């Protein structure tokens, strides 16, 4: 089974966006857009 966070991290990586980067929300909290997912290596070809 594939986790949604892993699929999102894979899509972000393929688009050239670092899924591990922390962005600041509008209230100043750090947020990872990849939601701690790990890119699926078998899709990274």
What is the pTM (predicted TM-score) of this model?
Answer: 0.75
pLDDT in tens, 1-45: 899 999 999 999 999 999 999 999 999 999 888 888 999 988 877
Task: Report pLDDT for 33.
Answer: 87
Q: Looking up tokens 């209230």, which residue turns up? A: 27
Task: Report pLDDT for 43.
Answer: 85
CB distance 39 to 13 below 8 Å? yes
Q: Which among 20, 3, 2 is positioned nearest to 12, based on CA atoms?
A: 20
Task: Report pLDDT for 7.
Answer: 93
Return phi, psi of residue 13, to 5°. -65, -40
Cα separation, 39 vs 41, whole angstroms: 6
């Amino acid at each position: 089974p594939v986790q949604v966070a892993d699929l999102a991290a894979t899509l972000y990586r393929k688009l050239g966006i670092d899924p591990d980067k922390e962005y600041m929300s509008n209230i100043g909290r750090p947020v990872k857009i990849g939601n701690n997912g790990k890119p699926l290596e078998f899709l990274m070809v």
